Amino acid sequence: MGNEKIKYKGQEILENLPEILKQRKYHFEIKGLTKSTRDIINQAVQGILDQIGANPLTSFHLFSGLMEALLNAVKANARFVIFKDELLNKLTSSGTALESEAEDLLNVILETEPLRDAMQRYIVPDKIKKTVQRILTLSDKRRSKKGTLSQEEIDFLEMVKARTRAYQLKISLKIEIRTAELYIRLRNDSPIMGLDLQRIRKSRERHAELAREGRSGEFFRPDFLDEKESAGFGIAMIDEGFYNLALDPLECFDIQTSKHATTVYLRYPIEALQKIEF
Ligand X SMILES: Nc1ncnc2c1ncn2[C@@H]1O[C@H](COP(=O)(O)OP(=O)(O)O)[C@@H](O)[C@H]1O
Contact residues for Mg ion, defined by CB under 5 A: 72, 232, 234
The smaller minimum CB distance to ligand X, of residues 102 and 243, is found at 243
The smaller minimum CB distance to ligand X, of residues 164 and 262, is found at 262
The smaller minimum CB distance to Mg ion, of residues 70 and 106, is found at 70
Give the CA radius of gyration of the chain: 20
Q: How far is the CB of 161 from ligand X (least distance, A)?
A: 19
The smaller minimum CB distance to ligand X, of residues 44 and 231, is found at 231
Q: Is 119 a residue that touches ligand X (CB under 6 A)?
A: no
The smaller minimum CB distance to ligand X, of residues 15 and 29, is found at 29
> Binds 192, which of Mg ion, ligand X, none (CB < 5 to 8 A, cut-off by type)?
ligand X
- Closest residue to bound Mg ion by CB: 234
The smaller minimum CB distance to ligand X, of residues 72 and 92, is found at 72
Q: How far is the CB of 85 from ligand X (least distance, A)?
A: 17
Q: How far is the CB of 111 from Mg ion (least distance, A)?
A: 26
CA dist., res. 37 & res. 202, Å (int): 33
The smaller minimum CB distance to ligand X, of residues 125 and 269, is found at 125
Report the site for ligand X in 128-167 (rule: CB under 6 A). none
Q: How far is the CB of 70 from ligand X (least distance, A)?
A: 9
> Binds 262, which of Mg ion, ligand X, none (CB < 5 to 8 A, cut-off by type)?
ligand X
Q: Which of 232, 248, 265, 270 binds ligand X (CB under 6 A)?
A: 232
DSSP the chain: -TT------THHHHHTHHHHTT-SEEEEEE----HHHHHHHHHHHHHHHHHTT--HHHHHHHHHHHHHHHHHHHHHHHHHHHHHHHHHHHHHHTTSS-HHHHHHHHHHHHHSHHHHHHHHHHS-HHHHHHHHHHHHHHHHHHHHTSSPPPHHHHHHHHHHHHHHHHTT--EEEEEEE-SSEEEEEEEESSPPPTTHHHHHHHHHHHHHHHHHTT-GGGGGSGGGGGGGTTS-SHHHHHHHHHHHTT--HHHHEEEEE-SS-EEEEEEEEHHHHH----
Report the site for ligand X in 50-69 (rule: CB under 6 A). 68
CA dist., res. 35 & res. 140, Å (int): 7
| Site track for ligand X across 244-263, x = CB under 6 A | ------------------x-
Report the site for ligand X in 186-215 (rule: CB under 6 A). 188, 190, 192-193, 196, 200
Instruction: Give residues in contact with ligand X (CB under 6 A).
Output: 68, 72-73, 76, 188, 190, 192-193, 196, 200, 231-235, 262
